[in-house]
Amino acid sequence: MSSPTLIDGPRFGPVSGRPPKHLVIFLHGYGADGHDLIDIARHWCHALPEAAFVSPHAPEPCADAPTGRQWFRLSERSPAEIWRGAVAAAPALERFIDAELARHRLDERAMALVGFSQGTMMALHVGPRRARPVAGIVGYSGLLAGPDRLAAEARSKPPVLLIHGDEDPLIPVGALFGAVNGLASAGIAAEWHVRPGLQHGIDPDGLELGAAFLRRVLSPESFSAGSDL
């Protein structure tokens, strides 16, 4: 039997020009692809000059966007469908994470997951279930799949930052508080911010919050004095 094909996507950095000390993996939303988030690296690269950024394309063609990708199908958008989808998509993401860490000779302490929408669902599903804690998870405009299951399945307790717009018409802001509570049940404390007037997206303040969080959790002793935000 042939081994599964690894997912892949666009890459950026490190801008230092040296081998990376950190790895940031972007996980895009439903119907997009890896190109959708990789430009965030250009906003964050000077705050994280030693970081390699990568934004893999999700493994499946999107059922509702012929040129996009999906981590899993969203037809009824029910909690049961989201849970089944996250479980099914997790192995492909796990293989990608393992391959990227090996590629750069890094371990989870030097890696962060950054998700948007469905990508946040995947980051919050996979991150706490890894045996070794990742440095941090940033989730924009998403939710936690199976919040009642995480306490029994979490193997690590990474720092988490959640950011959500209070006018999000696709995933209402209440999903943020559901995620915070679900994470808390597993002993994972999440920092969270609600962005006023923001719909389903990422605004400049959200980008700044994400960069500051990653700078804090990704081995701060390795940053040079000249690369302050």
Sign of the CA dihedral running 201, 78, 59, 70: negative
Residues acting as catalytic residues: 117, 168, 200
User: d(Cα 39, Cα 222) in Å, to the nearest integer?
Assistant: 24
Domains in the chain with CATH codes: 11-219 (3.40.50.1820)
Q: What is the tens place of the pLDDT at every residue in 162-173?
A: 999 999 999 999
Give the DSSP H or E segment for 24. Answer: strand 22-27
Q: What is the tens place of the pLDDT at every residue in 143-193?
A: 999 999 999 999 999 999 999 999 999 999 999 999 999 999 999 999 999
